[in-house]
């Protein structure tokens, strides 16, 4: 048995099978490249679902983490620590908002957004007790908790996990008329991904986000943008909402906020909205810890320069130009996305997304399939143009059946 086979066999024997990873066992990584236990190198074109926007082992992030590791890593929120105010202030400023509630994983931040919207509904909007409703979109992905999967439309994510949390209404993504009908007096929020990542990098029709903004403002409903995957540079802007000049009432952030080093998530909003909390009503042992704050502060500083957004824009144009050339050639049915982020629909005659991903792996490129026939391309924003072109060459080779 090879080192790879041994590692996979023992992982399969001793871990729950809630994932179906590609058969590669990574031992180290640097920038856009990963090296497996047998010394083979792979170009990372997934970037931890955008948690690794700044690449593996980013020097600035590793140095920030190391420096903080030597000082203090955890205080709990029972005490203040000296990176907390800095983190909240700078994150709020980057978002153009006022208050931050830090958590750890994306799902926790989504849960926090749900709780916050409900509480705002009762305390500020005046919704009758227990009646708050949140409108979400079909094909959403917001995480894996029992409440979040309650409003998923993906049978795999939902089946056998009920009973489900009530209080959600699902409308088709991109359909403003359906949204208008779904919003009622007891609606406290509309929660959406500005681009649906897991669904296959679905970009809503032009004017949709602006329409959601207008409708929610008119009806006194919070517009919550889940930018956990779309935010922090991926699409060429700090937030994907910016492409339509839209500012929501609340951002949900995660993934790249922790720089691929530690889990860091947050809800960012106004005084009116996050001001509803009193001590004891919500919390997290690890949320806003010193190590998380130190890494996230470095992420915020890096985004402030605009260089990553710029790279995502320039390399993204190149990526979409090259992928666009594949459409209509028989192997690729459609390409969607924005910035350095693409969903590529493979023609069934050329194999499933999984099969294409495995063939790419054999050529040294790592991507992830989604929903059967789609592969997702989202390399670290630090990828060089040469590496990106090499990765695209491998994709062309696989699709040509070479």
Least gap, CB of 142 to ligand PLP (angstroms): 5
The per-residue b/e assignment along 353-364, b for 16 or more CB within 10 angstroms, e otherwise, is: bbebbbbbbebb
26 within 8 A of 48, measured Cβ to Cβ: no
- Contact flags string 15-44 toward ligand PLP, x per CB under 6 A: ------------------------------
Least gap, CB of 72 to ligand PLP (angstroms): 24
Of these residues, 54, 141, 151, 286, which one is catalytic? 141
255 is catalytic: yes
Of these residues, 119, 133, 255, 368, which one is catalytic? 255
Closest CA to 341 of 362, 370, 361, 364: 370
Give all strands (DSSP E) within 96-229, no chain letters: 99-103, 133-137, 168-171, 187-192, 222-226
- Taking CB under 6 A as the binding criterion, the range among 73-81, 177-185, 225-233, 332-340 that sits at the site for ligand PLP is 225-233
369 is catalytic: no
Which residue from 226, 249, 298, 369 is in contact with ligand PLP, where contact means CB under 6 A? 226
Least gap, CB of 107 to ligand PLP (angstroms): 3
- Asked whether position 107 contacts ligand PLP by CB under 6 A, the answer is yes
Residue 345 backbone dihedrals phi, psi, to 5 degrees: -85, 120
Query: Any idea which residue has 């952030």 for tokens?
Result: 253
- Taking CB under 6 A as the binding criterion, the range among 208-216, 224-232, 290-298, 314-322 that sits at the site for ligand PLP is 224-232
Closest CA to 265 of 240, 234, 231: 231
State which residue, 7 or 199, has the beta carbon closest to ligand PLP: 199
- Asked whether position 106 contacts ligand PLP by CB under 6 A, the answer is yes
Closest CA to 226 of 249, 200, 260: 249
Output the CA–CA distances (angstroms, integers) from residue 217 to 21, 93, 206, 224, 399, in the order listed.
43, 22, 19, 12, 46
> H or E segment at 30?
strand 26-30
Least gap, CB of 111 to ligand PLP (angstroms): 9
- Asked whether position 228 contacts ligand PLP by CB under 6 A, the answer is yes
Least gap, CB of 174 to ligand PLP (angstroms): 16
Q: How far apart are CA 278 and CA 282, in angstroms?
A: 8
Torsion of CA 268, 273, 278, 284, to 10 degrees: -30
- Taking CB under 6 A as the binding criterion, the range among 105-113, 114-122, 126-134, 269-277 that sits at the site for ligand PLP is 105-113
Least gap, CB of 348 to ligand PLP (angstroms): 26
64 within 8 A of 295, measured Cβ to Cβ: yes
Which residue from 53, 229, 238, 357 is in contact with ligand PLP, where contact means CB under 6 A? 229
Query: Any idea which residue has 């935010």 for tokens?
Result: 231
State which residue, 91 or 392, has the beta carbon closest to ligand PLP: 91
- Contact flags string 244-263 toward ligand PLP, x per CB under 6 A: ----------xx--------
Least gap, CB of 1 to ligand PLP (angstroms): 32
State which residue, 118 or 142, has the beta carbon closest to ligand PLP: 142
User: Which two three-digit tokens encode residue 327?
Assistant: 């459409």
- Asked whether position 110 contacts ligand PLP by CB under 6 A, the answer is yes
Residues 6+ apart with CB under 8 A from 290: 68, 71, 72, 73, 74, 75, 81, 82, 83, 84
Residues 6+ apart with CB under 8 A from 299: 54, 61, 232, 256, 257, 258, 259
The answer to whether the Cα torsion of 181, 182, 185, 187 is positive or negative is: negative
By CB under 6 A, how many residues form the interface with ligand PLP?
15
**Is 189 exposed, middle or buried, given 0-12, 13-18 or 19+ CB atoms closer than 10 A?**
buried
- The residues in 135-154 that bind ligand PLP, with binding defined as CB under 6 A, are 141-143
Of these residues, 36, 44, 226, 345, which one is catalytic? 226
Give the nearest residue (CB) to ligand PLP: 106
87 is catalytic: no
- Contacts with ligand PLP, residue ranges (CB under 6 A): 49, 105-107, 110, 141-143, 193, 197, 226, 228-229, 254-255
Which positions are catalytic? Answer: 141, 226, 255
């Amino acid at each position: 048995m090879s080192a790879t086979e041994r590692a996979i066999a023992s992982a399969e024997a001793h871990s729950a099978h809630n994932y179906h990873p590609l058969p590669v066992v990574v031992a180290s990584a640097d920038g856009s490249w990963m090296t497996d236990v047998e010394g083979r190198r792979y170009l990372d074109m997934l970037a931890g679902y955008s948690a690794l926007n700044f690449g593996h082992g980013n020097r600035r992030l590793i140095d920030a983490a190391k420096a903080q590791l030597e000082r203090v890593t955890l205080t709990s929120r029972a005490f203040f620590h000296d990176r907390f105010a800095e983190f909240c202030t700078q994150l709020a400023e980057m978002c153009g908002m006022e208050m931050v509630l830090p958590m750890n994983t994306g799902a926790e931040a989504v849960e926090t957004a749900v709780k916050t919207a409900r509480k705002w509904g009762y305390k500020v909007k005046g919704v009758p007790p227990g009646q708050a409703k949140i409108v979400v979109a079909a094909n959403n992905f917001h995480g894996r908790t029992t409440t979040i999967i309650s409003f998923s439309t993906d049978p795999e994510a939902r089946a056998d996990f009920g009973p489900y949390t009530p209080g959600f209404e699902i409308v088709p993504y991109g359909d403003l008329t359906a949204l208008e009908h779904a919003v009622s007096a007891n609606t406290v929020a509309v929660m959406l991904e500005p681009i649906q990542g897991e669904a296959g990098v679905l970009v809503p029709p032009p004017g949709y986000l602006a329409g959601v903004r207008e409708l929610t403002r008119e009806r006194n409903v919070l517009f919550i943008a889940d930018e956990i995957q779309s935010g922090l540079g991926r699409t060429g802007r700090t937030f994907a909402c910016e492409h339509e000049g839209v500012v929501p009432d609340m951002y949900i952030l995660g993934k790249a906020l922790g720089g691929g080093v530690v889990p860091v998530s947050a809800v960012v909003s106004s005084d009116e909205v996050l001001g509803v909390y009193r001590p004891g009503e919500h919390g997290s042992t690890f949320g806003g810890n010193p190590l998380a704050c130190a890494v996230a502060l470095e992420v915020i500083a890096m985004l402030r320069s605009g260089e990553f957004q710029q790279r995502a824009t320039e390399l993204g144009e190149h990526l979409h130009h090259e992928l666009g050339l594949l459409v209509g050639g028989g192997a690729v049915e459609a390409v969607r996305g924005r910035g350095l982020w693409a969903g590529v629909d493979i023609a069934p005659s050329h194999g499933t997304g999984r099969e294409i991903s495995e063939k790419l792996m054999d050529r040294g490129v790592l991507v992830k399939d989604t929903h059967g026939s789609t592969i997702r391309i989202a390399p670290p924003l630090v990828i060089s143009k040469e590496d990106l072109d090499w990765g695209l060459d491998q994709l062309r080779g696989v699709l040509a059946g070479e």
